[in-house]
A = this chain, B = another copy of it.
Amino acid sequence: MSDSSAAAGVVGILGGMGPLATIDFMHKMLLATPAATDQEHVPVVVSSIPQVPDRNQAFRGDGESPLAALVASGRRLAGAGAQMVVMPCNTAHLWFDELQQALELPMLHLVDAALHDAVALAGPSARIGLLATDASLASGLYLNRRPQGAPAVQWLLPTAREMLDWVMPGIAAVKAGDLPGGADRLLAAALALKQRGASALVLGCTEIPLVLDAANAPLPVIDATAALAQRAVAWSLGQRRQAA
Interface residues of A, Cβ cutoff 8 Å to B = 1-7, 10, 16-20, 22-23, 26-27, 30, 35-54, 64, 67-69, 71-73, 76-77, 79-81, 175-177
**9 residue pairs from A and B, CB less than 8 Å apart:** A3-B71, A26-B48, A36-B175, A36-B177, A39-B51, A42-B50, A43-B49, A45-B45, A45-B48
The answer, among B23, B50, B73, B81, for a CB contact under 8 Å with A39, is B50
What number of copies of this chain does the assembly contain?
2
Q: Which residues of B have CB within 8 Å of A18?
A: 38, 41
CA distance A176 to B37 in the complex (A): 6
CA distance A80 to B85 in the complex (A): 14
CA distance A229 to B24 in the complex (A): 18
**With A19-B26, A43-B16, A76-B81 in contact, do A36 and B176 touch (Cβ < 8 Å)?**
yes
